[in-house]
Structure formats: structure tokens, C-alpha cells
Amino acid sequence: MSENVKKIWTFIEQEHGKAHPVSWELLGAAQKLSADLEGSEVEAVLLGNQVEHIADEAYRYGAKRVYLIDDPVLSVYRNKPYASGISRLVEKYKPEIFLVGATILGRDLAGSIATQVKTGLTADCTELAIDPDKKILAATRPTFGGNLMATILCQKHRPQMATVRPRVLPMPQPLPQAQGELIREPLGLTEEDIPVKLIRFIPSTEMLNIEYADVIVSGGRGVGSPEGFKVIKELADALGGVVGASRPVIDAGWLPREHQVGQTGKTVRPKLYIAAGISGAVQHRVGMSGADFILAINTDPNAPIFQIADLAIVGDLFQVIPELTTQVKQLRQQSQLAGGNHA
């Protein structure tokens, strides 16, 4: 490994030996950056307990090298050992750029690393590029309540750090034969050094993870009440999907926050996104415009959501959605009778 190589690092987030998909999205982005940054290589950082198998996956998604700290102390995420382990790696190997997923874990970790290594961090980026003149990271994110996009450069400090939310970046195609180099590093801490102790691990099975759903049926203020979401849920169930929502629904307490799609909610890229009673404000659209197919249902023919919809139905959602649900169920039944498993 040459000293002069500009290292583009990505953090491989994992829980109980399973990598978070945002890790691969970051590796895809890192490869694009590397193509525009001469003399650079894409590498990954992996921490955990008995997680070496994840390095093989990282090679397939474009990492040339994986720095691994494998230690029982790292079996569940705690800020201190993760942040101090990675900060030591940063100080030793001096990456040029370091990308982290803007997940709950990633947000906690990235800020601590940036503080420890005394560099800047651009959080919640929506676009990453290499500035053509300065040859440094140009990290773009919404600002002033989403009304402006700001491109931020970290000119003097290294690494240039950025977090990106899951699903903002496309998932790259894995290369099944790809291989890479594994570099093992010690953690340099023992359990006695960690003030936070794990008493019991409670898996968040109740937490909805809409970012990676294939089908999302979302309701907006037009649904009118929490009870109104019954029809939305019935269609989502019939399609094997999940329920999403616009922000007023969450602010009114009709649904918990993890359902919110948009700038201050989740970014989603489903195969099918149904927007019912949602006007299509820009702050909602930034979270769902990457869907493969958008079906919008709205009583207002001039609703902005129709500008990005693949299929527009002007009508009352309380008439349209139950009819759609009935048709989906019928199609599913017919398909099952015919021996297929898709509606």
C-alpha cells in the first residue's frame, strides 16, 4: 500500500454480524468519488466481534482493503470503544475522505470521531462529488429548512467526513468474484475501560424499517384522522407492503415518527409508492421521488404530487383505496388458484 494513495474510507455498520445495507450504498458512492479523484482507493472500516465474514461482502461491493478491529468488547455498539478504535485507525492510516451512514448508530459515531480527530463533518448529505478544481469532497445537503442546498467543503482538516442517510444513494451491483486485503488492528481497550455496560439487549422488532420496503402506501393530511389510516393499512397489507405518512400525520400524533417519509423523515426507494391525500410538498418529495413507480390519489387535480406521479387518480381516497384493495385481493386469489404466488 503506497503512502501517497488517497484513501476513501467507508464505515461498515453491522449488528450481530449482519451488515446494514447503507454500508454498501456508501461503498458505491466511494467508487464514484474515487473515479474522479486521481490516485485514490476505496477502503472500508469494520468493527465488531467475529465479523470477519463481512469483509468478504465489502470486497464484493468495491472495498479494496478492509481495516478490521475484531474484539469481544465490540459485540454491541457502544460509543466509546467504537469511536476511540476508529479514531486510532484514522490517526494511523490518514484517510482523505470518510463516509458514514446517517443511521442512529452512524450519527452518534461520526460526530464523536470528528471531534476526536479534530475535523469537520457534513451531516445528512444528499449528494457527494469531487470538486473539479480543488479535488476535495463537495458534500451537498439541504439547509434553511430545505429551501436551499448547501455544498460544503472541508478545506483544511482531514479526513473530510460526511454522513448520508440510508436509501439516498443507489445500491451498487456486487461483483461476486472480487477480493481484497484484510488489515487487522487491535482495539487497545479492555472492558474495564468502558463506562457503559450492557445489561440486556432488547431487539427493536417493533421498530418499522420503511427505508428498504418494496411497497409503501402513504397517507397524508387528506386521510383526515387516525381511524382513516385503516383503509391505508388494509391496502398495504394486501400488497405485502408497509404504511408511510407525510409529516402533518406524525405531528398530529396519528402515527409514530418512524412512518414519516421526507426531508425530516425517512428516504425511501420502493418499487411502488402510493401517495394518498398527500399534496406533494418538496419536503415530502425529496424522500420518495426515487421510487420506481408512483401512484398518487388526490381530490385536487392540481396537486403537485401529480407532477412526479407515474399514475394519477383524481378522486376521493376513501372511494379509490378500498376499491384498489378489493381488486388486489381478487388478483391474489386468482393467482393462487392458478398456482402462482404473485398478484
Any alpha helices (H) in the chain, and if so which ranges?
Answer: 22-36, 52-60, 79-93, 104-117, 229-238, 247-251, 282-288, 317-337
Of the pair 137, 276, the CB lying nearest ligand FAD is at: 276
84 φ/ψ angles, rounded to the nearest 5 degrees: -75, -35
Q: Determine if 325 is a binding residue for ligand FAD (CB under 6 A).
A: no
If you search the block for the grid coordinates 467543503, which residue do you land on? 153
DSSP state of 261: B
One of 21, 120, 248, 322 touching ligand FAD (CB under 6 A): 248
Q: Determine if 322 is a binding residue for ligand FAD (CB under 6 A).
A: no
Q: Determine if 267 is a binding residue for ligand FAD (CB under 6 A).
A: no
Non-local (6+) Cβ contacts of 246 within 8 A are 218, 219, 220, 221, 260, 261, 262, 278, 281, 284
Q: Are 38 and 21 in contact (CB under 8 A)?
A: no
Query: Among residues 264, 310, 13, which one has the least CA distance to residue 126?
Result: 264
Q: Determine if 290 is a binding residue for ligand FAD (CB under 6 A).
A: no
Q: Determine if 268 is a binding residue for ligand FAD (CB under 6 A).
A: no
Query: Among residues 99, 127, 131, 132, which one has the least CA distance to residue 113?
Result: 99
One of 45, 117, 278, 294 touching ligand FAD (CB under 6 A): 278
Of the pair 159, 222, the CB lying nearest ligand FAD is at: 222
Smallest gap, in angstroms, from Cβ of residue 173 to ligand FAD? 30
Select the span of 27-35, 57-65, 105-113, 313-321 touching ligand FAD (CB under 6 A).
313-321
Select the span of 76-84, 106-114, 126-134, 215-223 touching ligand FAD (CB under 6 A).
215-223
Q: Are 104 and 15 in contact (CB under 8 A)?
A: no
| Cα 182–chain centre separation | 26
Select the span of 12-20, 103-111, 173-181, 257-265 touching ligand FAD (CB under 6 A).
257-265
Smallest gap, in angstroms, from Cβ of residue 297 to ligand FAD? 6
One of 101, 166, 244, 265 touching ligand FAD (CB under 6 A): 265
DSSP state of 41: E
Non-local (6+) Cβ contacts of 259 within 8 A are 208, 210, 243, 244, 245, 249, 250, 265
One of 26, 296, 317, 324 touching ligand FAD (CB under 6 A): 317
How far is Cα 235 from Cα 231, in angstroms, rounded to an integer? 6
* Count of chain residues binding ligand FAD (CB under 6 A): 28
One of 260, 267, 291, 325 touching ligand FAD (CB under 6 A): 260
Smallest gap, in angstroms, from Cβ of residue 94 to ligand FAD? 37
Of the pair 21, 248, the CB lying nearest ligand FAD is at: 248
One of 87, 119, 283, 289 touching ligand FAD (CB under 6 A): 283
Q: Determine if 127 is a binding residue for ligand FAD (CB under 6 A).
A: no
- Report the amino acid identity of residue 245: A
Q: Are 58 and 180 in contact (CB under 8 A)?
A: yes
Of the pair 93, 318, the CB lying nearest ligand FAD is at: 318
Count the Cβ atoms, other than its own, within 10 Å of residue 34.
Answer: 21
Q: Determine if 145 is a binding residue for ligand FAD (CB under 6 A).
A: yes
Q: Are 249 and 339 in contact (CB under 8 A)?
A: no
Q: Determine if 222 is a binding residue for ligand FAD (CB under 6 A).
A: yes
Torsion of CA 30, 13, 189, 96, to 10 degrees: 10
Q: Determine if 54 is a binding residue for ligand FAD (CB under 6 A).
A: no
Q: Determine if 152 is a binding residue for ligand FAD (CB under 6 A).
A: no
Q: Determine if 70 is a binding residue for ligand FAD (CB under 6 A).
A: no
Task: Write out the residues near ligand FAD by the rule CB under 6 A.
Answer: 145-146, 220-222, 246-248, 260, 262-265, 277-279, 281, 283-284, 287, 297-300, 303, 316-318
